[in-house]
Amino acid sequence: MKTEKEKMLAGELYDPADPQLRDERRAARLLLKMFNDSHEAQTAERLRLLRQLIPASGEGVWIEPPFYCDYGGNITLGDKVYFNFNCVILDIAPVRIGARVMFGPAVQVYAATHPLDAAERASGLELGEAIEIGEDAWIGGGTVICPGVRIGRRTVIGAGSVVTKDIPDDVLAAGNPCRVIRSLKK
């Protein structure tokens, strides 16, 4: 029999009130509170807290506070990833972000979702779908990335976009819903 955490990470319906998951979210919230309350001059402390929150982080990662996530441990960051202020990652499923990806301010990444059936939704169970952002992508400020989406390498997502489906490599895409505007290949 799977644990609720195993179900969650597998993209199956799971109980978010499970004590293990509740404890892990609480631990992440405490780290986030310390990170978000840290002083600008506390660079080493911020990096230590980020490494503790997101162990699968490459070198040269920088996240501007405030930052919010559910667990942190379900996020993978490549080298030199940068998040501007006020970004959110709901990481109940794996969220993989490639090297040199840049997030503008207030980017929202939602791996969490809920059943479409109202009776199933009323049960309190939820589920998630993994998200992947390829290396060298640039995600414009205020973008919302929906569950299960893959954004290609070297792709630029325009500010304020709502990404509801996969976006290929090497394109400029924008809008609500986000759609490819043009190729960026030379």
Catalytic residues: 114
SS (H, E, C) the chain: CCCHHHHHHCCCCECCCCHHHHHHHHHHHHHHHHHHHCCCCCHHHHHHHHHHHCCCECCCCEECCCEEECCCCCEEECCCCEECCCEEEECCCCEEECCCCEECCCCEEECEECCCCHHHHHCCCEEECCEEECCCCEECCCCEECCCCEECCCCEECCCCEECCCECCCEEEECCCCEEEEECCC
- Compute, in degrees rounded to 10, the torsion defined by CA atoms 32, 37, 40, 44: -50
